[in-house]
């Protein structure tokens, strides 16, 4: 799997991020850094690389603003935290990429 130039991948969450990571989260993209943990790092990396593409397309602030807005909208409409997360358009696209076979 080829990474875009300048992307940094770490195999564990940094100490300062751990208090904010919810149970079950196996990957997070923060800017040009991807933090991956779990049993299937290649699958998680495919997911997080989609988020990098989304950030490149929309810009960092717009991406996170829309992500949070979609999540909050789903929660407000009665979805559980997990349901709200899985209904975010960015996550739907990223989960689809997880299932794709690497080139």
pLDDT digits (tens, 9 = 90+) for 22-59: 888 999 999 889 999 988 898 999 999 999 999 999 99
Q: Which one has a higher pLDDT value, 79 or 100?
A: 79
For residue 24, the Cα-to-chain-centroid distance in whole angstroms is 13
Q: Where are the domains of the chain?
A: 8-99
DSSP string covering the chain, please?
-PPPTT-EEESS--TTTGGGPPTT--EEEETTEEEE-SS-HHHHHHHHHHHHHHHHHH-HHHHHHHHHHHHHHHHHTT--HHHHHHHSHHHHHHHHHHHSPP-
Q: What is the pLDDT of residue 12?
A: 93
d(CA 12, CA 60): 22
Q: Is the pLDDT at 63 greater than 80, yes or no?
A: yes
Per-residue pLDDT at 61: 95
Work out the pLDDT band at 101, boundaries 50, 70, 90: low
């Amino acid at each position: 799997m080829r990474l875009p130039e300048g992307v940094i991948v770490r195999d564990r969450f940094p100490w300062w991020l751990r208090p904010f990571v919810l149970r079950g989260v196996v990957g997070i993209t923060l800017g040009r850094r991807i933090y991956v943990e779990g049993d299937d790092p290649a699958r998680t990396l495919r997911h997080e690389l989609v988020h990098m593409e989304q950030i490149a397309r929309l810009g960092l602030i717009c991406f996170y603003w829309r992500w949070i807005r979609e999540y909050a909208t789903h929660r407000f409409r009665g979805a559980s935290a997990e349901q709200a997360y899985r209904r975010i358009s960015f996550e739907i696209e990223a989960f689809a990429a997880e299932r794709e076979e690497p080139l």
